[in-house]
A and B are shown apart, each in its own frame.
Chain A
Amino acid sequence: MEQVAFFAGAIGALGGALAVVALRNPFYSVLALIVHLISLAGLFLILYAEFIAAAQIVVYGGAVMVLYLFVSAYVGGSEEPIWEAIPGQRLLAPLLAAALFIEVSIAVLGTGLKAIGERGPTLPAGFGSPGSIGELLLERFLVVFEAASMLLLIAAVGAIVLAGRRREAGPGGAGGPGQPGERSGARRDQPSPAPPGTPGSGAEEVAR
């Protein structure tokens, strides 16, 4: 039973991963990644990691993938051109990946790890449950937890700065009818594109 579940999850995860790489439309790649993530969550469940599996589905399969879908729909499903930028790239890349796989497999299986070839110990009840993970996270790994939350906060602020700057500079730079409220925001952001000088302004003119 466990083997059936493992192979079902493994085939789903591997098929999803291959589809992410092979499909040419980014929108379909995102959908394939959702399949991959859900099968991986199944594998986590076999490994007694209930909380990780739930977080995988809710955070990854839910929130992050919705973000991806919105951005890929916003950017547009532009298909990549067939031509290769580097000659032989289409041949070399899988070759290098296969070499990487063989290398990692040798490194992992040849290490003489004691755990290799075993199923692992019988686990206590509640292993990997939200309660025990939360206890570990808030007691032993409190600093890690706080650092992760700070990292998320910084990333959110960074994303707002990155994605929002151009829009504020647009109406402010476009001239008179811009709202006074946005004016101050545009003026505050003006110095950061300015130092590159002429190329930056040239790019903006091209953009318009």
Chain B
Amino acid sequence: MAIEWYLVLSALLFAVGASGVLLRRSPLVILLCLELMLNAGNLALVAFSRSLGNQEGQVFALVVMVVAACEVVVGLGLIVAMFRRRLPLDVDEIRELRG
């Protein structure tokens, strides 16, 4: 398989994730869609690493995974804190930074 198939698939996954971020209102699902976008980036990195015969892209993908895990942890902590404060879990209703 030529590399452009992977790149187009990666662009498609990124667009689906972006549409999810634009479309959905639950912060939990928005975080999931951010994961989709990060994974699309990972796919492109690994595809380039394959086509260049160079492993550094894979190390980059690993670092992206670490960043995604951090983002998940902090985001889920925020969601739990919002839930404990009885705030509505809807990004259209939470427009201010103060709780």
Interface set of A (CB-CB < 8 Å, partner B): 2-3, 6, 10, 13-14, 17-18, 20-21, 26, 29-30, 33, 36-37, 40, 43-44, 46-49, 51-52, 55-56, 59-60, 63-64, 67-68, 71-72, 74-75, 78, 80, 85, 89-90, 92-94, 96-98, 100-101, 104-105, 108-109, 115-121, 123, 127-128, 132-133, 136-137, 140-141, 144, 148, 151-152, 154-156, 158-163, 165-167, 196, 199-200, 203-204, 206-207
A167 to B16, CA, bound (A): 37
Query: Whole-angstrom distance between the alpha carbons of A96 and B14 in the complex?
Result: 12
Partner of B50, one of A6, A20, A49, A64: A49
| 28 sampled A-B residue pairs with Cβ under 8 A | A14-B16, A20-B16, A21-B24, A26-B26, A26-B29, A37-B39, A47-B46, A52-B58, A52-B62, A55-B65, A67-B72, A68-B72, A75-B28, A85-B25, A90-B23, A94-B19, A97-B15, A105-B11, A109-B8, A116-B4, A118-B51, A121-B52, A128-B49, A137-B62, A141-B59, A155-B74, A162-B77, A200-B99
Find B23's partner among A21, A100, A158, A199 (CB 8 Å cutoff).
A21
Secondary structure call for the B interface: helix
* Set of chain A residues within 8 Å of B53, measured between Cβ atoms: 120-121, 123, 127
The tally of residues in B whose CB lies under 8 Å from a CB in A reads 74
Chain A residues contacting B71 (CB-CB under 8 Å) are 155
